[in-house]
Amino acid sequence: MTDGLPSTGDLLELEIGPVAHGGWCVARHEGQVVFVRHALPGETVRARVTEEGKKFLRADAVEVLQASPDRVEPPCPFAGPGRCGGCDWQHASLPAQRGLKAAVIAEQLSRLAGIDRPVVVEEVPMPAEYGDDGEPIVTPPGLGWRTRVQFAVRGDGAVGLRRHRSHSIEPIDECLIAHPEVELMGIERKRWPGASGVEGIASAATGDRIVALTERRGRDRRPVRVPRLDVPVRLVRGRAEPGASLPYVREEVAGRLWQVSGSGFWQVHPGAAGVLVDAVLTALEPKPGDIAVDLYCGVGLFAGVLGERVGRDGLVVGIESDGQSVRDARFNLKDLPQVSIESGKVEEVLADLEFGRRTQPRPAKRGKPAGRADESRVKRADLVVLDPPRAGAGREVVDQIAKLAGRKIAYVSCDPATLARDLAYFGERGWALDDLRAFDAFPMTHHVEMVATLVRG
């Protein structure tokens, strides 16, 4: 310690308080806040300081003096202080993990949005899967679910996962939360010289598998040597030409096949996409003839299921900025003429968008054919669904949605803090939270998926 203050490397005996957002628990040492990993509320631990901030410390619990009844032995040998940073809660039972996530959501809603309500995090069941021999594939609860895994590569080509809040790589030979189809590729047991990242991508529904590579940049750049694998491998950045056709996997949800190219966005838990589709449809209650908008639409999942519900007399507009995802969405939904996918930033496309009943939208300033003439053009949609990245929608987009939406809004979020912030913005504009559902789509981690339903207050 320096001048009586803890410094990096010091050991502190701490009584652990409530959970905090991001996989931490909160403790205090002589009045100073300490965010502690690898601990649980109610425990007494010895923790090693890992970072010093101006107002708080960060630490890892390295010895448990008094354990919580919710503590379990982490199943992964690479989990623990100073090891792999991919999982936050392997030391907690699965019911306890869901309770911790519910507490974080409730705290963020109360603190950032002034909304006080009980929260329950629902389990996301694994769909039934069968091997080539027809026998069911059984994975231990909470493990074997992640169908997209981004591995980091050391300079010598060894594969691993990054340690928490570090660029250091923890070499591994198996990831227990990775889906069996990802593990069958054998990525961790190969060398990948010249690559900085390797992503294993598998579809639990169709069995499709691909590997997406990122080449090393700067002074360390050298040709990537690809080991022999029985799946397609492609550079998705670096030497990959812009707009190039990428290998893809096919996903199956809501009775449709969805093409997802390269490392494009898709829910990583095999059961999550279906659960979220059901939650969004329950939230919005779409009717034939409705106009709906799907913001940050990715490969068109919500746009597609809404398009089927609103029918040929309705209209769905999806908006997405990633070019490859736009191409996938248009391919996936080519059989639904009532669905239009617009390419561009959400705030820019929304500013230009107008709708006419039973017409295509008029994409002003985009150089595309206008929709059929219609005297009843409006800048209003009956329904809006948005699934923004972790940073959330933000004030400008919330302003636009609050003016655009007519009946209901479904906000899909993977971050309690940015969701709560945006709900506060919606509240200022006359939209109230009607319902909130949360789903444990990322067992063993602090991440969670949520669907908030908003109506005019």
Residue ranges at the known binding site for S-adenosyl-L-methionine: 267, 296, 320, 387
The sign of the torsion formed by the CA atoms of 239, 243, 245, 247 equals: positive
Distance CA 20, CA 100 (A): 9
Its sign, for the CA torsion 109, 113, 117, 120, is negative
Catalytic residue status for 25: no
Catalytic residue among 25, 175, 297, 414: 414
Residue 177 · residue 143 · CB < 8 Å: yes
Q: Specify whether the CB–CB gap between 177 and 126 falls below 8 A.
A: no
What is the set of active-site residues? 414
